[in-house]
Amino acid sequence: MKRTTRSLVATIAAVAVLAVSVIGTAAQRTGMWSSRSGPLHAASGSLAAPAAACKALEPGEVTWVTLDEDGNVAETVESYPSEATKVTAAFEYACIPKKTTLITVWSIDGETVLTDKTAMKATEKADTWTTSLFMKDESALPDGEYGIDFYIGEDLLTSGKVTIGGGGDTPSSVTVQGTVTDSKSKKPIKGAMVVVLNEGVDAQTWLDEGGDSDIFASAKTDSKGQFTLDNPIDIGVKHAWLIGAQGYKPIVKQDMVIEEGAEDPVEFDIALVKK
């Protein structure tokens, strides 16, 4: 990996009076699932036949599965690969009482995206209930952590979580690039420095006494204010970030994290304020 020289350390230190700030609009540009088009749609099903003397559903733990062309469980999975078009949750039950309405709540990265109510047919037979989430246009689901909660009334019966992009196709790091501009004039700043420190390195300590060995990635903006870090940034890992340019107030962010599900490359718009 390309390393910076001591001149980079000196440049940042020269402009840095420690100031914590938000880095541009970066939080809005990390590949949020909501940017994907198309409404989400759920389908639920059970092959159980009606019957009468069941007193409790008694659901088992949620498992995640794939289905074959006939709608039967093909295999159990720990995660789904990127570009998956469907996720399917399943749980076993002992029987289904009369007048049972199952409420299913789907979430992506902790945000509820769909709530569904299904009248379950009464049965004394044990079986497996499956519920699938997919895009109405059958396009790929966004990478992220999918959650499902099953309720009867306000009582939570069982729940589970699974990841799309956890099957090895999701990168563990992403390229970071962007533009540094003057906050007032919006003009690009040439020669601005963007530095990402190694995990666990404190920004102020580095400014006081650090060296090149503490730098994980860095870049210098060109005449258009654009930069690309010289090392991919690890997803889900906290790094201290420092952005500085001569004549501008520095930005120092101690615990910056690229979240899972971020699109590659990640784009940052960074606005610096003149001193």
Same domain, 43 and 85: yes
Q: State the pLDDT at residue 186.
A: 94
Query: Is 150 found in the same domain as 56?
Result: yes
149 and 132 both lie in a single domain: yes
For residues 41 and 160, membership in a common domain is answered with: yes
Distance between CA 214 and CA 196 in Å, rounded?
9
Structure tokens at 162: 């699974």
Facing residues of 131 across strands? 44, 89
Could you give the dihedral angle defined by the CA atoms of residues 100, 53, 64 and 118, in that order, rounded to the nearest 10 degrees?
Answer: -20
Beta strands 226-228; 215-220: pairing state: unpaired
Question: What pLDDT was estimated at residue 216?
Answer: 93
**Is the pLDDT score of 135 beyond 60?**
yes
What are the tens digits of pLDDT across the range 17-52? 333 322 332 322 223 322 221 112 233 444 444 445
The amino acid sitting at 5 is: T
> pLDDT (tens digit, 9 = 90+) per residue, 184-243?
999 999 999 999 999 999 988 888 887 888 999 999 999 999 999 999 998 888 999 999
CA distance 164 to 142: 7
Model pLDDT, residue 167: 46
State the pLDDT at residue 163: 93
- CA–CA separation, 155 vs 144, rounded Å? 26
**What range does the domain containing 200 cover?**
6-32+171-272
Residue 101 inside a domain? The answer is: yes
CB 228 within 8 A of CB 176: yes
Q: Do 46 and 152 fall into the same domain?
A: yes
Residue 1: inside a domain:
no
CATH code (residue 226): 2.60.40.1120
Q: Which of 134, 164, 194 is the last residue of a domain?
A: 164
List the strands of the sheet with 266-272, edge to edge. Answer: 226-228, 176-182, 266-272
Q: What is the CATH number of the domain that holds 67?
A: 2.60.40
Give yes or no: residues 24 and 71 share one domain.
Answer: no
Q: What is the domain count for the chain? A: 2
Give tens-digit pLDDT for 148-170.
999 999 899 999 999 998 544 44
Do 135 and 235 fall into the same domain? no
- Tell me, what's the pLDDT at 166? 54
Compute the average pLDDT of residues 68-77.
82
Residue 196's pLDDT is: 94
Tell me, yes or no, whether 156 and 46 share the same domain.
yes
pLDDT score for 74: 84
pLDDT band per the 50, 70, 90 thresholds, residue 121? confident
DSSP notation for 47-116: -PPP-S----------EEEEE-TTS-EEEEES-B-TT--EEEEEEEES-B-TTEEEEEEEEETTEEEEEE
Beta-bridge partners for 274? 248
Residue 199 lies in a domain: yes
Query: Is 253 domain-assigned?
Result: yes
Which of 131, 164, 197 terminates a domain? The answer is: 164
95 pLDDT higher than 80:
yes
- 232 preceded by cis ω (within 30°)? no
What pTM did the predictor assign? Answer: 0.46
- Give the model confidence (pLDDT) of 249-260 as tens digits: 999 998 888 887
The span from the CA of 132 to the CA of 117, in Å, is 14
Q: Are residues 58 and 28 in the same domain?
A: no
More confident residue, 249 or 12: 249
Q: Is residue 115 part of a domain?
A: yes
Confidence of residue 71 (pLDDT cuts 50, 70, 90): confident
pLDDT at 52: 56
Share the mean pLDDT of the chain.
78
| Together in a domain, 210 and 197 | yes
- Report, as an integer, the average pLDDT of 79-99: 88
pLDDT at residue 2 tops 70: no
Question: 26 with 41, same domain?
Answer: no
Q: State whether residue 236 is helix, strand or coil.
A: coil
233 burial via Cβ count (<10 Å: 0-12, 13-18, 19+): buried
Residue 177 lies in a domain: yes
Q: What residues are paired with 90 via a beta bridge?
A: 63, 130
**150 and 129 assigned to the same domain:** yes
The mean per-residue pLDDT over the stretch 110-139 comes to 86
Of 118, 148, 164, which residue sits at a domain end? Answer: 164
Residue whose pair of structure tokens reads 């404190």 in the numeric block: 202
